[in-house]
A and B are shown apart, each in its own frame.
Chain A
Amino acid sequence: GEDVEQSLFLSVREGDSSVINCTYTDSSSTYLYWYKQEPGAGLQLLTYIFSNMDMKQDQRLTVLLNKKDKHLSLRIADTQTGDSAIYFCAEQAGDSGYSTLTFGKGTMLLVSP
């Protein structure tokens, strides 16, 4: 299987911007995703980007994709304490034809007041 790599921990102050980085290995991935998981909860789809795009913005979230370097980032503007959670990037598992996702290990974001 392919590995999706993320840094494990990020700490920011409320109001700052947060940038969570991810590298993936499967160049055939058509969609790349960001999910948020709060403690004890399921996964919440935050946003996704199609592989022929290099940027997508959705309110406070900006996704940047560098397909050449297989690098994906999620920027959260004006980070709030409610943004504290684990953030997973995920890529489509090759050309299986299904939305089978390979997840990174997750980045724990801690936002302090």
Chain B
Amino acid sequence: DTEVTQTPKHLVMGMTNKKSLKCEQHMGHRAMYWYKQKAKKPPELMFVYSYEKLSINESVPSRFSPECPNSSLLNLHLHALQPEDSALYLCASSPRTGGDTEAFFGQGTRLTVV
């Protein structure tokens, strides 16, 4: 299994809703990442988890709340989002936290905030 699986594939939510994005990998990777990609733009890093602990938060607003319940799962909890938060949210994982290791990406969740 060399996949990073993200659910749901598409999500439409109102500005007062609470929803969660899920990411799962069974490759034994110990680092997991959330990226945000706006239309026609490159992905931008949001969060990094290393050994289930939050290691990097790229000044992301608190309406985005990451969680890593175990080494295979990564969640992104969403609350009180704005329409400008509509984007493709990509999860990635890498075997370890050294710099010399490739990242594998999921297919993303396309989020629309109305």
Contact = CB atoms under 8 A, between A and B. Distances in A.
Contacts of A50: 100
B12 to A, nearest CB: 15
B23 to A, nearest CB: 11
B102 A97 contact: no
Interface string A74-103: 000000000000001000110111111101
Interface of B: 6, 31, 33, 41-45, 48, 50, 55-56, 88, 90, 92, 94, 97-108, 110
Nearest to B108: A42
Task: Give the bracket for the number of chain A residues in contact with chain B.
Answer: 20 to 34
A99 B94 contact: yes
Contacts of B97: 97-99
B54 to A, nearest CB: 12
